[in-house]
A and B are shown apart, each in its own frame.
Chain A
Amino acid sequence: MTDPDLQKLADLWKETDAAEPPRAFEAMARKARRRGRIFAWLDFAAVAFILGTSLVGIFMEPGTVTMVAAIALIVITIIVTRKRRQIKQMTRTLDTASREAFIDTSLNNAAANLRRTRLSLAFFPIGVVCALIYKMALRAGGRTELIPATFVDWVQTPRGILTMVLLALLFAWGLRTARRIRQELRRLEELRAAYSEEDRQDRNEAA
């Protein structure tokens, strides 16, 4: 760097590292290392816990329901673990790829997240209605004509109110997540455009 103006700016820039004092930085580094280790063991611990409790459950309360629940838990655990491994793989790509690949991967991930959130939002009301009909049908002893009246009675109880509020909050959370992902997508698109513009200028000036 021979430009004296740039050297002056560089000297000035390097004086601005008071953002975090060295001691606070060291503490953050220790915390990051601790978190890193915990994350590394979390997958294994979660799988071991779920498999362990499922097996214990089968032996303690043998029966069809316990068996089905345990098998469902084991299948879900395997699917979730596989998914997490895929995410880890993707993170590695993010660490090593070029800027264009990095932004493209981020865009693909954000788009996939948005699709997943929209799908959840679309199926959430249907799922809630089905669950409520099932619950009310059980309460009404299987008599379908009593389901609306049973629901009206249940929804006025503190438990019913709490459940409905929680479901509404969950739905609102989903809407908020979708809005945030849309904003992220917009920013990533802007970033991609900015990088393309820089590349175009690089090529023009080099020619």
Chain B
Amino acid sequence: MATNGSKEQLFEEMSSSCTGLINRIALSYEADPSLRRELIQDILLAIWVALDSYRGEASIKTFAASIAQKRCISHVSKRAREPRQVELPGDLVSGAPAPDETALRNDEKRVLVESIQLLPIPQREAIVLCLEGFSYAEMATILGISPNAVMLRCQRAKSALKTIVERRS
């Protein structure tokens, strides 16, 4: 169990190292930017509350991803209306390649994000963790299934994602 001081420290560590991870997990579940901001806020609050029960058995990144995924599932089941598709911002790229390359890259990103949002939730959470670079063992901890089942689920999710991406591009 985290003490007050270590809880502060852990939260600092988590919020600085998991910014992208939490942003992207929220992005895979919520297309609306303002609702996504609320979702990120809820994820952070859930992590803060749950840090009391963190015993260091998994890395802080794995712990944060686990809480974020569950909070997102609750968000999806509780949302007032069915999801609506919202245009993603055009400034998703950070580098400065040629404008046509940027446009192409942005388009690829938009297609990828929209395709991930279309996957069934069990496959979506598996592929997001896979794309985030988690190992099968870490994913097994997060998803609460065996590493072998994680591997099979990732394969199905990847295949489904490729089909959707190809159909949409």
Contact = CB atoms under 8 A, between A and B. Distances in A.
Interface of A: 1, 3, 5-6, 9-10, 12-20, 22, 25-26, 28-29, 31-33, 35-36, 39, 91-92, 94-103, 106, 110, 180, 183-184, 187-188, 191, 194-195, 197-199, 201-202, 205-206
Given A16-B24, A19-B23, A202-B153, 6 more contacts: A15-B93, A15-B105, A28-B41, A96-B53, A99-B122, A198-B156
Interface string B43-61: 0111111100100000000
Nearest to B39: A19
A36 to B, nearest CB: 4
Instruction: Describe B's contact surface by its main secondary structure.
Output: helix
Contact of A36 (B45, B128, B130, B165): B45
Contact of B11 (A3, A33, A106, A202): A33
B41 A32 contact: yes
B40 to A, nearest CB: 6
A102 B50 CA distance: 15
Nearest to B54: A95
Contact of B145 (A36, A99, A180, A188): A99
Contact of A15 (B19, B40, B92, B116): B92
Contacts, number: 160
B73 A102 contact: yes
B5 interface: no
Nearest to B52: A92
28 contacts: A5-B158, A6-B131, A6-B158, A12-B105, A14-B132, A19-B23, A22-B19, A25-B22, A25-B23, A28-B40, A29-B15, A33-B48, A35-B45, A91-B49, A95-B67, A99-B144, A100-B144, A101-B144, A106-B77, A183-B80, A184-B77, A187-B76, A187-B77, A191-B121, A194-B120, A199-B145, A202-B148, A206-B149
A188 B144 CA distance: 18
Interface string B112-129: 110010001111000010
B43 to A, nearest CB: 8
A19 B49 contact: no
